[in-house]
Structure 1
Amino acid sequence: MSVHHPDIKRVTTHIIQEMKNRGEKISCLTAYDYSLASIVDAAGVELILVGDSASNVMAGHETTLPITLDQMIYHAASVVRAVKRALVVVDLPFGSYQGNSEEALRSAIRIMKESGAHAVKMEGGLEIKDSVVRILSAGVPVMGHLGLTPQSIYKFGTYSVRAKAEAEAQKLLEDALMLEETGCFSVVLEKIPSTLTKQVSESLTIPTIGIGAGPHADGQILVLHDMLGINKEFKPRFLRHYADLSTIMHDAITNYVGDVKGRSFPNEKESY
């Protein structure tokens, strides 16, 4: 059953902001291809992230680092063609914006022009401010991302909870306020203490979107393949499985193989 408002034809950054203002939670999921994006959109989520998690989910890499800008544009364009209502945000991949604001702008413009997406997402705080400013100056909406930033995984050396220490928590709050002041329309908070999420969400006027960050964010996001139970190996505490599609798909394919080998598929009604 779809839960979206029938009078809203297209979710925009303005509508996302209005949702925070009136205390309505924002639902977000990832998508990487046309078929699943059409299902996600029809189900009523407000925001679809074409995440660089495609590097893990779609390509089987250990980290998000290997995925390229061209590959992100391919996935984003596939999603945009399917989506009629949700706001589509695309991750700028590792190496496409860090340290060079001119390259960051070129990357963001390519994503917007070649995929038709509505916004980009970038990981980091003060260290990427120049890139954020330059992209925003071109009229491209930017979503921030703080806490556990997977593109920096080799610096962290672990996927454990971030910002438990007071100094790191204070820096995260300062970075969040800076991203808001710079002009970002939203900030993802990943794998940080719930109390810090509450503090940041109450300190910002723009929406926060949590993943592994507790219930106090203004919205929540999960990786689609994780919450559907397609990827059964990934079992962090914050993940809730809403289906067991891995088992359903395995059983269906097993039945198909059996029918082919047993000569019961195709039957006469399935033939011309």
Structure 2
Amino acid sequence: MSVHVSADAPTPRRPVSIHDLRASKQRGEKFVMLTAYDHSAAALLDELGVPVLLVGDSLGMVVLGYESTVPVTLDEMLHHTRAVARGAPNAVVVGDLPFGTYQDGPSQALASATRLLKEAGATAVKLEGGGPMIEVTAHLVRAGIPVMGHLGLTPQSVHQFGGFKVQGRDVEAADQLVADAVGLADAGAFAIVLECVPTELGARITEAVDVPTIGIGAGPHTDGQVLVWHDLLGLTTGRLPRFVKPYADLRSEIAGAVKAFSSEVADGEYPGPEHRY
């Protein structure tokens, strides 16, 4: 049976793969990654052609109201990743491995990562840190699980760092981050997030590895950039990190819409004749 596509129908998109991201680096083409925590956001971002969606454990702070990412559970990550994967058939969907689900070593990490792929439909997983996480990465990759690394400010270690602070400022720390990045790339990580590191170090790491780097507070020289969806849209309250640039002010737009709705209901204007059965 043949399938005929109308000339007016949109051309079907080919799903993005992790190999496409490396090809982008080789061509010198920068790309974006955005967080997504639910089906509607994922569907819109997928429609807009965002190549990588991160179901970050940042959902703990952004969606669930925790003070950090540390309390996020694997079950919570599975719940949100399922919703995102259902809405984004074309993007690379990366699910964060939450704190306490991989630090015990390769076996624990494999069990957790397997659930994110099998039960939630993720394309890949992300884990934080270098050092012992290099072997964990290699173990997952050998099992056929794509892994995204994460270096610099790793939020799951915020208590160890003493707060959300820029990492790699001194020579020794910078050299260690470069070594960890090379180790992760050699272990098979398909990309590495660099968070809150000096611009020069972001450029140095990007040059040192043949896999894409994705920056968040790591300067303009990384291969890609990532922002939290709510930060991008101007929905976040309070003091924002220096690297955040709101591209809209949806908080004000939403406030105006809610106030208008409340006012019209109070005045009896809504529902009008056109809204009645």
Give the structure 1 partner of residue 115 of structure 2. Answer: 110
Q: TM-score, normalised by structure 2?
A: 0.94
Give the structure 2 partner of residue 146 of structure 1. Answer: 151
Give the structure 1 partner of residue 29 of structure 2. Answer: 24
Counterpart Cα distance in 2 of 1:144 and 1:9: 25
1:74-128, Cα deviation, whole Å (9 max, x unpaired): 1001001111321111100000000232111000000000111100000000122
For residue 245 of structure 1, the aligned residue among 241, 250, 267 is: 250
1:5-36, Cα deviation, whole Å (9 max, x unpaired): x6751110110010000000011100000111
Counterpart Cα distance in 2 of 1:66 and 1:81: 25
Is the 2:31–2:51 Cα contact (8 Å) retained in structure 1? yes
Give the C-alpha shift of residue 153 in structure 1. Answer: 0.2
For residue 66 of structure 2, the aligned residue among 38, 57, 61 is: 61
Is the 1:52–1:72 Cα contact (8 Å) retained in structure 2? yes
Amino acid at match of 1:268: P
For residue 155 of structure 1, the aligned residue among 156, 160, 164 is: 160
For residue 202 of structure 2, the aligned residue among 193, 197, 200 is: 197
Give the SS at the match of 1:126: coil
1:128-163, Cα deviation, whole Å (9 max, x unpaired): 223222211210000000000000000001212110
Give the structure 2 partner of residue 14 of structure 1. Answer: 19
| Unaligned segments of structure 2, at least 5 residues | 1-10
Counterpart Cα distance in 2 of 1:196 and 1:8: 36
User: CA distance change for structure 1 residues 159 and 198 in 2, over 3 Å: closer, same or farther?
Assistant: same
For residue 88 of structure 1, the aligned residue among 90, 93, 105 is: 93
Percent of pairs identical after alignment? 45
User: CA distance change for structure 1 residues 167 and 39 in 2, over 3 Å: closer, same or farther?
Assistant: same
Counterpart Cα distance in 2 of 1:262 and 1:85: 46
Give the SS at the match of 2:119: helix
Counterpart Cα distance in 2 of 1:225 and 1:135: 31
Is the 1:87–1:118 Cα contact (8 Å) retained in structure 2? yes
Counterpart Cα distance in 1 of 2:241 and 2:19: 33
Is the 1:226–1:234 Cα contact (8 Å) retained in structure 2? no
- Segments ≥4 residues shifted beyond 4 Å: none
Give the SS at the match of 1:90: strand
Give the structure 2 partner of residue 210 of structure 1. Answer: 215
Counterpart Cα distance in 1 of 2:252 and 2:237: 9
Counterpart Cα distance in 2 of 1:84 and 1:105: 24
Give the structure 1 partner of residue 3 of structure 2. Answer: none
Residue 179 of structure 2 is aligned to residue 174 of structure 1: yes
Give the structure 2 partner of residue 119 of structure 1. Answer: 124
Give the C-alpha shift of residue 268 in structure 1. Answer: 2.0
Give the C-alpha shift of residue 236 in structure 1. Answer: 1.7
Is the 1:73–1:114 Cα contact (8 Å) retained in structure 2? yes
Is the 1:47–1:87 Cα contact (8 Å) retained in structure 2? yes
Q: CA RMSD in A?
A: 1.1
Counterpart Cα distance in 2 of 1:234 and 1:211: 16
Counterpart Cα distance in 1 of 2:248 and 2:47: 18
Give the C-alpha shift of residue 166 in structure 1. Answer: 0.7
What does 1:72-83 correspond to in 2, within 5 Å? 72-83=77-88
Counterpart Cα distance in 2 of 1:128 and 1:144: 9
* Number of equivalenced pairs: 267
Give the SS at the match of 2:24: helix
Give the SS at the match of 1:214: coil
Give the C-alpha shift of residue 262 in structure 1. Answer: 1.3
Give the structure 2 partner of residue 100 of structure 1. Answer: 105
Residue 133 of structure 2 is aligned to residue 128 of structure 1: yes
Counterpart Cα distance in 2 of 1:130 and 1:207: 20
